[in-house]
Structure 1
Amino acid sequence: MFAPLPAAAAWLHREARTGFEVAYFRGDDRGVLIEGCATAVEDGQPWAIDYRLRLDGSWHTRSAHITGRYRDARRTVTVHSDGLGRWQVDGAAAPEFDGCLDIDLEASALTNAFPVHRLALPVGDAADAPAVYVRAGDLATTRLPQHYRRITDGPGQRYDYRAPTLDFHATLDYDEHGLITTYPGLAERTA
């Protein structure tokens, strides 16, 4: 069980990209509303991503409105879920995401908190948590297989994380609120 979310959190993005992310949290009778922004330079290309995410009381992603600003364009994508693993992207059914309960924004260190809250794994247990993955560079959506294994407990938690299609493996550290503090190769929590 995690402590209540703070009013805001921030991460410094480094190594894979140089940038910053800020997120604001508001709980209500429907769950959690998160509004945030990530700005970065990655592979020499600057981008800014604004997001508004709605999670239900069980930490299932219910909606996401994401806007990306780039040198030559502005893009927007809207994603909705019934909370049971059926999705729509920009109003069209997206059966390729059936079974996903989370959204994962490539631009964000925050979104890896969603499955950790939702799964509430005991130490030693593991689970697959496929997500609707939204790429930072063009807001394209793809299915992202993910695997979480909880490896420690304490004031915070530590997970072995794998995203095989991205050939990515890391140990992720979370604070008492269930927010990432250390995301190797990507981000460190600063507030």
Structure 2
Amino acid sequence: MSSLTKHPAAWTRTDVPEGLGLGALIPEPGGFRLEGGETVVEGEERFFTRFTVRTDLAWTTREVRVEVVSGKGPASLVLTARDGHWTDTAGRPVPELVGCLDADVAATPLTNTLPIRRLGLRPGEYRDIAVAWIDIPSLRVRRVRQRYTRHPPEDGLEHYTYRDPHHGEYHLSVDGDGVVVDYERFARRLRPEE
């Protein structure tokens, strides 16, 4: 993980005309921190988002902070999770998220690292999970059922299929840290020379 700490991963979005993201996976005492941001331009819509996700040592999400700047102005969201129970920015319970152990910030491939690391699947295994899915730029939060299936490694990368009922199925390749290299029809990691 030290390579990502020193050199954050950068992605170009392939699902919009212009989009660029940057993210880092940072070990902390008692867990991990994902730091990232995305800038997207699609037609008249333009937005920038910055997020922080904190986990425990088992990769279970403990806190999510998301900020968005768009044509509607700035907005922010804070979600906190303890033992599968979530609270919002104002400290109110969010009952529809009970049991969710992962957060998925929709604008970035970085948060796919959370279930990939937490589940520890072997090739051929799959797992259905419920996640706290955060739409960007609206910051609407909903519970989404997702399936992760691990495939045999190929070309020095790990391979997964991600599926959910709202967005369909995507193939992901990830590095040894579980960070996305290629996310079919969504994002592609930029190499240092690009």
Identity between Structure 1 and Structure 2 (%): 27
Would the alpha carbon gap of residues 140 and 17 (structure 1) be closer, same or farther in structure 2, given more than 3 Å must change?
farther
* Conserved? CA contact 1:9–1:22, under 8 Å: yes
Q: What is the alpha-carbon distance in structure 1 between the residues aligned to residue 130 and residue 42 of structure 2?
A: 25
**Could you state the TM-score of these two structures normalised by the residue count of structure 2?**
0.90
Runs of 4+ in 1 over 4 A off after TM superposition: none
Q: What is the alpha-carbon distance in structure 2 between the residues aligned to residue 185 and residue 153 of structure 1?
A: 20
Residue 20 (structure 1) aligns with:
20
Shift of 1:68: 0.5
1:66-120 C-alpha deviation (Å, 9 max, x unpaired): 10101131111000011x3111111110110111100001111111111010000
Q: What is the alpha-carbon distance in structure 1 between the residues aligned to residue 33 and residue 167 of structure 2?
A: 31
Q: Which has the higher mean CA deviation after the structures are superposed, 20-29 or 107-116?
A: 20-29
Residue 59 (structure 2) aligns with:
59
Residue 10 (structure 1) aligns with:
10
Would the alpha carbon gap of residues 5 and 103 (structure 1) be closer, same or farther in structure 2, given more than 3 Å must change?
farther
Q: What is the alpha-carbon distance in structure 2 between the residues aligned to residue 163 and residue 18 of structure 1?
A: 25
Q: What is the alpha-carbon distance in structure 2 between the residues aligned to residue 17 and residue 60 of structure 1?
A: 33
1:139-167 C-alpha deviation (Å, 9 max, x unpaired): 11011110011111253211121111x14
Q: What is the alpha-carbon distance in structure 1 between the residues aligned to residue 97 and residue 66 of structure 2?
A: 17
Secondary structure class of the residue paired with 1:130: strand
Q: Which has the higher mean CA deviation after the structures are superposed, 40-49 or 86-95?
A: 40-49
Aligned letter for 1:184?
A: E
Q: What is the alpha-carbon distance in structure 2 between the residues aligned to residue 66 and residue 117 of structure 1?
A: 21
Shift of 1:176: 1.5
Residue 36 (structure 1) aligns with:
36
Would the alpha carbon gap of residues 148 and 186 (structure 1) be closer, same or farther in structure 2, given more than 3 Å must change?
same
Secondary structure class of the residue paired with 1:103: strand
Structure 1 residues not aligned, in runs of 5+:
none
Q: How many residues are treated as equivalent by the alignment? A: 187
State yes or no: 1:179 paired with 2:179: yes
